[in-house]
Structure 1
């Protein structure tokens, strides 16, 4: 049996395609991947035991969703942790001896501890403790995870700065881009999706999760101030109520769309936006969509997200507050052909440096070097 990499993720495989999906689909070229989601707690008639559901994945990427009947929780010997640990033992039996553990959520640190892994990787893609509804002990759990990890990767510069002194092997890998995928937005044969094709221009666009990280007050104010601008939001909502979303005739909420459809939506945007709020949840983010928008050469307007300012400030129009955001969009809409071409020429080398293929390859090299060092130390002892 070929030993697998087990990825423990707080994001579901069929959710918005993000960092875990990009990396696991590429690391699968080196070894089989078992992508383990957090348990789904629910009710199933006639079912009284927890079990593992196999979900659609990719070649060499198995997706497993633990399913736990709610009635089972907190009965004798059936705490959430006890149930998940027993189910994880079943996964370990399928993973081969001494698997590699790749962990996103510190809340699963106890699974990493029971795995008998030959290598543990913590990929800190977000400052999860800052998010709405985060467990009170999440910071403590992350320190536990870092203490047992062999390698720590971070999804952005701010995340790296917050962790570089807490572990001897911390490596910064800001999120990348699938260039071939998003360059479909430039293909004359790519047609705009039917649900936006008849909307008037200009169009402001956003794709990604709609949650507390977005500045909904700013979004509503922009839509009110410029009713002729159509604002298109593509993505599912999370951790917010429908009442949190501004409801105006020129704002369209389209819901989640397939990853395969995103280049066509990008093609329909006149300006790609990142209207993030400046709050605890956004202090450490490094939005994947920056490079995805850039790959389609859409002009980008963003609020002052620290990692965006630091890494892409010369390529993105930055705005602080309502008047500045409106002015930045207006400047993007006025962009002359020569100005656009000059921007594209500055974008190209940045895009070339941040492909997901290259990031996965460099991560794998670091992992191999650590495994070799560990083996060498073992042989010399």
Structure 2
């Protein structure tokens, strides 16, 4: 049975308290419903017409990390306060961690830094002890993955009841309960990949005085499986414009990665009817790229459509990165025609 998603107040970009951005509520268009498909699992559908150009969802990241080269000098580094997430250009001045954990952690103002102290204290000792060894031994990707897990745990630590307060009539899951309900498990990934992640969890993410989260190794491993299946890269331009413009315009360089409890429910299509792009505060915004009719699934593209253009490259990328073979309308229509043999007479046989 489908679950109706009730609308909340639409966020205002000017909402700030004492110069710290006020964390905005999640916002979902009233014509969206969540349903379950026997093959795809959870999905988002339109309950009524959604015209092209309509903003349909705004989701706040439960956890977000910067993804930039040379963070100390990079102009695209984002503010570490999760209520802000705005880019913090170096030339405007940055406020760094007083414990000098890593240069990737910075705030756009002293107010943002002070307001974020309790959350950052959760990750600071872990970053100072493990960030450089992980980067040196395992590489930047695995460090980013582990740091995103630490920030998920930090948000959970600040959200002890496991979910945000919401009206009883509102069925969409937010907060930690939304993260816990995301798809992804050890069965999703190869045994080799799961063994590698298990090693990382046991070495760097165990419950300890350095990282006091209270979860078992298996639960943290499960969280990695969920994060890897659901996290978003943040890019300066839209993802999912279809058909791609000519000449092609890609979405730009990634500057952050994040996990969104509601946006992650959207499934992929190589012919999406939604485009997505983060706003200046790190919210993920979905917009209808064409009219979406009642009953139609609302889909995004999981990758830059200007990068993988033919059927083979698209399916191979999705198989490697997301562990499924795309069966969207576009992919099925581009499959080569199956050869059929029509016998007009009995074939000759060697005797």
- TM-score when scaled to structure 1? 0.28
Asked which structure has the greater RCO (Cα within 8 Å, sep 6+), the reply is: 2
- TM-score when scaled to structure 2? 0.29
Structure with greater helix share of residues: 1
